[in-house]
Amino acid sequence: MTCEIIIHSESSVALVGELCVFNAKALKPRLLALLKPAAELEMDLSRVSEVDTAGIQLLFLAKSEAARIACRLNFIRHSDPLLDVISLLNLSQDFGDPLLIPARHASELRHES
């Protein structure tokens, strides 16, 4: 499966599919091309069905490049698979975006404590 970028408007896009090593090389230039100096972009991640460390690196690269050109990039509506990897790698503070933790995750976190 692939990872597609759905463009809703100049300031709103969505990633759909597998954000993984098999798609990262093709996705990188398309993702970075969406970033414009002094602009704001919301990226909906709710339909990311799978993610690995290459996908996480790509998201970090997009954040880094956006900061470099003064583009405000906001990741929103993180999918469960993405939340799982962010939690596993303890990266929630590193993205700088609010994460809404679904009740299922919150319950699991309480039981782990």
Which residues in the chain come in under a pLDDT of 50?
Answer: 109-110
The full length of the chain comes to: 113
Which pLDDT score is estimated for 108? 55
Which pLDDT score is estimated for 37? 95
Amino acid letter, 60: F
pTM tops 0.75: yes
Domain with 44, as residue range(s), is 3-112
Which pLDDT score is estimated for 40? 96
How far is Cα of residue 14 from the mean position of the Cα atoms in its chain?
Answer: 9
Q: How many domains does the chain have?
A: 1
Distance CA 14, CA 4 (A): 8
Q: Please give the biggest Cα pair distance in the chain.
A: 44
CA-to-CA separations, 49 to 4, 9, 89, in angstroms, rounded: 11, 22, 18
Which pLDDT score is estimated for 90? 85
Which pLDDT score is estimated for 67? 94
Could you tell me the CATH number of the domain that includes residue 83? 3.30.750.24
Which pLDDT score is estimated for 100? 60
User: Alpha helix (H) ranges present in the chain?
Assistant: 21-33, 53-68, 80-88, 92-95, 103-112
